[in-house]
Amino acid sequence: MAEPSRQDAIPMPLMKRLENDDEAIGRAYRRYLDYYLGRYPGCDAVYQYEALAYTLRERIMADWRRTWIEHKKPGTRRAYYLSLEYLIGRSLGNHLLNMELEDPVREAMSGLALDLEEIESAEPDAGLGNGGLGRLAACFLDSCATMSLPVLGYGMRYEYGMFRQRIESGCQVEDPDHWLLDVHPWEIERPEYKQTIRFGGRTEPGRDRKGRFTVHWVDTEDVLAVPYDIPVTGYRNEVVNTLRLWAASATDAFNLKEFNAGDYADSVAAKNQAENITMVLYPNDASENGKELRLRQQYFLTSASLQDVFRQWGERSLDDFAAANVFQLNDTHPSIAVAELMRILLDDKRLDWDAAWKITTACMAYTNHTLLPEALERWPVRLFERLLPRPLEIIYEINRRFLTEVRSRWPGDVARVQRMSLIEEGPEPQVRMAWLAIVGSFSVNGVAALHSRLLAEGLFRDFHDMWPSRFNNKTNGVTPRRWLALANPDLARLISETIGDGWQRDLSRLAELKRYSQPGHEAFKSRWRDIRLANKTRLAELVREATGVVFDPRALLEVQVKRIHEYKRQLLNVLHVIHLYDRIHRDGPDTVAPRAVLFGGKAAPGYARAKEIIKLINNVAAVINEDPLVNGRLAVAFLPDYGVSKMMRICPAADLSVQISTAGKEASGTGNMKFMINGAITIGTYDGANIEILEAVGEAHFFRFGLHAEEVEAMRSDYRPRDFIEADAELARVLHLLECDHFSASEPGIFHGITDSLRSAHDPWMTLADFRAYADAQRRVEALWHDRDAWTRSSILNTACSGGFSADRTIAEYNDEIWRLEPIEL
């Protein structure tokens, strides 16, 4: 690999840009369809999409190359985002927006009697992530490109992305998402940059010719990593950054070994084991499953990416390496990077320990995304030893030196040393990956103000004591290009007509909308309402097609879409829905505001309780939607297969954004931001970025309720759910309806697991403690909804105050405080 390839020796020539008028685009489209894909104009929409994507892709190439040339200039400091997940969604519309090609392409397509929107919806979602963590990575790449920052994303080219969800008899059914079986025109395979990744084997100590200590990692089973590049266009700035995804492939040696042993067929079949590594995304969000294949994935991504950076670094002096390279670790999933960078510097580059450690700790930065203990990654030392013997040795040595430092700072504090050790002792000793990430990084951040504070005071306290200045906060954000301009084009147009363009790159400009929330702007307000009503009408169609449930677009549309997890408390929402139903039965349908309640989200396939919650939502919905007394005043639906493209239809339509996690548990949330930007009002706990949303828009335009994080922890040791039930007849009735099988007549008792957990003094999510406050907050929602003008004002103010939740703001902070990159100039 050390040999410089021919291509690198010859400077890359600039390319000329292709013509962007509708005629040139129409011609290119036909050329791709007929001569490249071998399809005809009346073919399946997916090939029309494919031809249009190629037409666009060739229009990206010249800028992509120019961007690469800038990135490769010696002295350009670059950042690498290492993430096991990128939840990208569709790309075609995004590129059209960024490259300002919507009009000519629409014209070219209509010239061929084709409908652009139809073609766009033939694109499958790239679902290489679980939820917020993966979508954040995609939003960040968008912002980095838009801000001209030299940032390269590294990830995994999973053959199967996030599973597709179906609902059968109210239950989640998972179907594999074989997304690459269709077409994927955005990627460019680059086998010339393949890397070899080693697993297994053993280490051999020795001396080199100069008598220095060496270690050889030998008898390994090797796997090839082949990169696929995906373009990341910036918003109208001619920048095209790169997302480089690795696919696993068997080495020839892998085959040969068996081949020589005599069984050719077996040896080819053995390829599977190597290629399994990038076969499937693990469908767990914020919980680990400890599978060996997952550790293989983590090391595969990390080693391939670091080796790729060194390939590009070439023979330049390593003295300059740390000044030119910074790695951002997306949670602990790639945290083995600390040991792998050390391994490369020690074993391959032959640096001594101190020089290698200095470089490593100047290059690594770690982002934590959750406090939930079940998500904290620990790997059994025994597994590590078998799979990654050399990285493990390095981790031991990092730990030895680190604990020496701890002992000298806190002499005699044995408990502290035990707490801080990278190795957790016990019957099955484990490597603590978060500790490794902290020790090896110069920056550690949380993803919202509360979360970062809780990290410093709680989980990471000992490390904060030791290195306070290492810890910082970077509140999450979302890209306003996808989540406003693309998802809500009508509202985007109204905003541009009102305050001009500019908000797309500087979302704080939305503050100029504040005055339109005031009296005297009735025309603006009425357009605001009309657009939102049209969005709701379109969403209602989608919901009806997918579920059969009819939503009245004039009803208050309340939405909770996110992964199904007990800490997010979909159950609290369900209890309230049952309470509304109970109110209708007690007081008559006219006493509640007409409401449509939408749920969506996937449960990890192994998370039984989360699946029961889906079943419960569907059963409750079925009873309510069928009840003649309810008569459409209340409609409830579970939208199957929630994902990025669904959210683009949902967030422009929602009136009320439901963000009701147990305080202290949702690190940030980002769905909350997408809803706010689009003018939804939040009903939420004092948790994650909800707090910052509330501060931005003001108490009067946010329905806050429930215990604070500190109150949750104070109550935990003496939590008595019975007291809440006894004090609240309405809550008691809701539980009774559940327990008398009102929603499970044909399957008595199926929800007793759920109701028992709610009644348990050990319910970690303390759902019943917040029920009364939630129901009261929902009463305030009703009151505001009845005052149409006041609601509209709050809605406008939510959008107007959402500027701080642009991922551009977040990335500016990462860059100012961690990465310190210069924007490139094209």
Contacts of 27 (CB under 8 A, 6+ apart): none
The interface region with ligand HTE, picked from 367-375, 506-514, 625-633, 806-814 by CB under 6 A, is 367-375
Shortest Cβ distance from residue 687 to ligand HTE (Å)?
A: 9
Shortest Cβ distance from residue 110 to ligand HTE (Å)?
A: 40
Separation CA 546–CA 635 (nearest Å): 14
Shortest Cβ distance from residue 507 to ligand HTE (Å)?
A: 18
| Rounded alpha-carbon distances, angstroms, from residue 523 to 312, 498, 512, 553, 785 | 57, 11, 16, 21, 20
The residue annotated as part of the active site, out of 562, 595, 602, 646, is 562
- Chain centroid offset of residue 454 CA: 21
Beta strand 681-684 pairing with 161-168? unpaired
What token pair was written down for 282?
Answer: 């693990």
Q: Which of residues 751-780 bind ligand HTE (CB under 6 A)?
A: none
Separation CA 189–CA 371 (nearest Å): 37
CA atoms within 13 A on the CB side of 81: 29
What residue number has its CB nearest to ligand HTE? Answer: 132
Instruction: List the x/- string, 312-341, binding to ligand HTE by CB under 6 A.
Output: -------------------x----------
Instruction: List the x/- string, 102-131, binding to ligand HTE by CB under 6 A.
Output: -----------------------------x
The residue annotated as part of the active site, out of 67, 278, 475, 670, is 670
- Residue closer to ligand HTE by CB (options 84, 580) is 84
CA atoms within 13 A on the CB side of 368: 33
Beta strand 430-432 pairing with 378-380? antiparallel
Active site residue 72: no
């020690």: which residue's tokens? 346
Active site residue 294: no
DSSP string, 626-679: H-TTTTTSEEEEEESS--HHHHHHHTTT-SEEEE-PPTT--S--SHHHHHHHTT
Across 368-420, where does the E strand assignment appear? 378-380
Shortest Cβ distance from residue 630 to ligand HTE (Å)?
A: 34
The residue annotated as part of the active site, out of 66, 432, 536, 563, is 563
- Residue closer to ligand HTE by CB (options 369, 602) is 369
- Residue closer to ligand HTE by CB (options 262, 373) is 373
- Residue closer to ligand HTE by CB (options 93, 129) is 129
Residue 283 interacting with ligand HTE (CB under 6 A)? no
Separation CA 22–CA 116 (nearest Å): 13
Size of the site for ligand HTE (CB under 6 A): 18
Amino acid present at 669: G
DSSP string, 233-281: E-SSS--EEEEEEEEEEE-HHHHHHHHHTT-HHHHHHTHHHHHGGGTB-
Of 641, 670, 640, whose CA–CA distance to 657 is shortest? 670
The residue annotated as part of the active site, out of 464, 568, 569, 611, is 568
Shortest Cβ distance from residue 568 to ligand HTE (Å)?
A: 9
| Rounded alpha-carbon distances, angstroms, from residue 719 to 91, 574, 723, 762 | 48, 21, 9, 7
Q: According to CB under 6 A, which one of 136, 156, 406, 539 is a site residue for ligand HTE?
A: 136
The interface region with ligand HTE, picked from 14-22, 141-149, 369-377, 717-725 by CB under 6 A, is 369-377
Residue 652 interacting with ligand HTE (CB under 6 A)? no
Q: What is the chain's length?
A: 826
Instruction: List the x/- string, 433-452, binding to ligand HTE by CB under 6 A.
Output: --------------x-----
Q: Where are the alpha helices (DSSP H) in 6-131?
A: 6-9, 22-31, 45-72, 92-98, 102-111, 116-120
- Residue closer to ligand HTE by CB (options 136, 431) is 136
Active site residue 736: no
Shortest Cβ distance from residue 651 to ligand HTE (Å)?
A: 15
- Residue closer to ligand HTE by CB (options 288, 340) is 288
Shortest Cβ distance from residue 87 to ligand HTE (Å)?
A: 10
- Residue closer to ligand HTE by CB (options 451, 505) is 451
Shortest Cβ distance from residue 674 to ligand HTE (Å)?
A: 11
């000992």: which residue's tokens? 462
Q: Which of residues 31-90 bind ligand HTE (CB under 6 A)?
A: none
Residue 286 interacting with ligand HTE (CB under 6 A)? yes
Q: Which of residues 489-508 bind ligand HTE (CB under 6 A)?
A: none
Contact 693, 672 (CB under 8 A): yes
Contacts of 136 (CB under 8 A, 6+ apart): 330, 447, 476, 670, 807
Q: Coil, strand or helix: which one is 366?
A: strand
Q: According to CB under 6 A, which one of 370, 570, 659, 792 is a site residue for ligand HTE?
A: 370
Residue 643 interacting with ligand HTE (CB under 6 A)? no
Active site residue 665: no
Q: According to CB under 6 A, which one of 60, 116, 133, 561 is a site residue for ligand HTE?
A: 133
The residue annotated as part of the active site, out of 611, 674, 701, 809, is 674
Amino acid present at 817: E
The residue annotated as part of the active site, out of 198, 294, 369, 481, is 369
Fill in the DSSP letter of residue 515: G
Separation CA 656–CA 72 (nearest Å): 47
Burial of 355 (0-12, 13-18, 19+ CB in 10 A): middle
- Residue closer to ligand HTE by CB (options 223, 365) is 365
Shortest Cβ distance from residue 567 to ligand HTE (Å)?
A: 9
Shortest Cβ distance from residue 486 to ligand HTE (Å)?
A: 20
Residue 142 interacting with ligand HTE (CB under 6 A)? no
- Residue closer to ligand HTE by CB (options 187, 687) is 687
| Residue 824 phi, psi dihedral angles, 5° rounding | -80, 155
Contact 795, 680 (CB under 8 A): yes
- Residue closer to ligand HTE by CB (options 129, 389) is 129
Q: Which of residues 656-695 bind ligand HTE (CB under 6 A)?
A: 666-670, 688
Shortest Cβ distance from residue 699 to ligand HTE (Å)?
A: 22
- Residue closer to ligand HTE by CB (options 669, 721) is 669
Separation CA 221–CA 261 (nearest Å): 16
Q: According to CB under 6 A, which one of 98, 307, 441, 476 is a site residue for ligand HTE?
A: 476
- Residue closer to ligand HTE by CB (options 143, 370) is 370
């994935």: which residue's tokens? 297
Separation CA 285–CA 297 (nearest Å): 16
CA angle 307, 313, 318 (to 5 degrees): 100
Shortest Cβ distance from residue 131 to ligand HTE (Å)?
A: 4
Contact 363, 326 (CB under 8 A): yes
- Residue closer to ligand HTE by CB (options 672, 794) is 672
Contacts of 282 (CB under 8 A, 6+ apart): 289, 291, 294, 297
| Rounded alpha-carbon distances, angstroms, from residue 84 to 88, 334, 339, 451 | 13, 7, 17, 22
Shortest Cβ distance from residue 136 to ligand HTE (Å)?
A: 4
Separation CA 213–CA 234 (nearest Å): 48
DSSP H/E element including 222:
strand 221-233
What residue ranges bind ligand HTE (CB under 6 A)? Answer: 131-133, 136, 285-286, 331, 369-370, 375, 447, 476, 666-670, 688
User: What is the set of active-site residues?
Assistant: 369, 562-563, 568, 670, 674
